[in-house]
Amino acid sequence: MSANTSAPRRSKRVLPGFGLTLGYTLFYLSLIVLIPLLALLFKTFSMSWPQFWEAVTAPRVLASYRLTFGASFIAACVNLVFGLLIAWVLVRYRFPGKKVVDALVDLPFALPTAVAGISLTALLAGNGWVGQYFEPLGIQLAFNPNGVVIALIFIGLPFVVRTVQPVLEDSEKELEEAATSLGATRWQIFRHVILPGIMPALLTGFAMAFARAIGEYGSVIFIAGNMPMVSEITPLIIIGKLEQYDYAGATAVAVVMLFFSFVMLLVINALQAWQRRHAGMPA
């Protein structure tokens, strides 16, 4: 139809030919991601279907899914709100020590998660700096699902901040000024001007924080209390099965987690695509 499509075009690419680049990409992804995941699947093949089903639907395992996915969801939601707030402050305000605050955001990335778990437990336990003020109120922060959520909020925060921040930096202030001059309220500006632009990034950050929380082990294990049916996370169930030399059972539960994480990521990708279309941006 248009003249552009028929015109011969040879643009210079930084990387060598498409075939080579794609081939390398697929090879590398297979090596690093796909093959290990396939190995996981193969380990479960030693089980029959009823055995598999029994292993992944035992009451303790079901309770652990509820805790892991529930706590991860709550933590990701909290991070969505407060991560956006932090990103906003870091982008739009200037204040002394901003660089330090900016660096602090990355700390949960860099810190060994076990260290985070141990320090959080020390803080939140009944005799800890923070925990001692909550205990008289009858609120137990550590060694129950509360502790799990707090640990997951901690490790998930940077994901939201770091995905939203660059998008906020790029967003055009002129649009907001135009909206103001047209008499829009602050809430209207946020709702109709800012939010649509950052929504895909927010959702991505949410998805990453959520996915990371599902697989988190080190920081949670010290603070959870690990009581069966109450505060056992799914990764602990997997470790427990390995301790019983139940390789197949451990991988079976791992495969279920993998499946749910994958579904979650697909849903969020679909949400993002829908959101982009909705906002009238190129998908």
For other proteins, the binding residues (CB under 8 A) are 55, 58-60, 118, 121-122, 125-128, 142-143, 221-222, 225-229, 236, 239-246, 249
User: Min. distance of Cβ 228 from other proteins in angstroms?
Assistant: 4
User: Min. distance of Cβ 132 from other proteins in angstroms?
Assistant: 10
User: CA gyration radius for the chain?
Assistant: 23
User: Min. distance of Cβ 213 from other proteins in angstroms?
Assistant: 19
User: Min. distance of Cβ 238 from other proteins in angstroms?
Assistant: 11
List, in order, residues 6 or more apart from 70 with CB less than 8 Å away.
Answer: 145
Judged by beta carbon, residue 82 or residue 217, the one nearer other proteins is: 217
User: Min. distance of Cβ 220 from other proteins in angstroms?
Assistant: 11
Question: Exposed, middle or buried: residue 50 (CB in 10 Å: 0-12, 13-18, 19+)?
Answer: exposed
**How many Å apart are CA 258 and CA 244, to the nearest integer?**
22
Judged by beta carbon, residue 115 or residue 239, the one nearer other proteins is: 239
Give residue 234's identity as a one-letter amino acid code: T
User: Min. distance of Cβ 276 from other proteins in angstroms?
Assistant: 44
User: Min. distance of Cβ 236 from other proteins in angstroms?
Assistant: 7
Judged by beta carbon, residue 128 or residue 145, the one nearer other proteins is: 128
The answer to whether 223 and 142 have CB atoms below 8 angstroms apart is yes
**How many Å apart are CA 264 and CA 211, to the nearest integer?**
8
Judged by beta carbon, residue 2 or residue 244, the one nearer other proteins is: 244
Judged by beta carbon, residue 103 or residue 239, the one nearer other proteins is: 239
> Could you tell me the sign of the dihedral formed by the alpha carbons of 163, 165, 169, 175, in that order?
positive
Q: Please give the C-alpha separations between residue 210 and each of 71, 116, 200, 240, in angstroms, as whole numbers.
A: 9, 18, 15, 23
Judged by beta carbon, residue 114 or residue 266, the one nearer other proteins is: 114
SS3 244: coil
Query: HEC string of 53-82?
Result: HHHHCCHHHHHHHHHHHHHHHHHHHHHHHH
Judged by beta carbon, residue 11 or residue 127, the one nearer other proteins is: 127
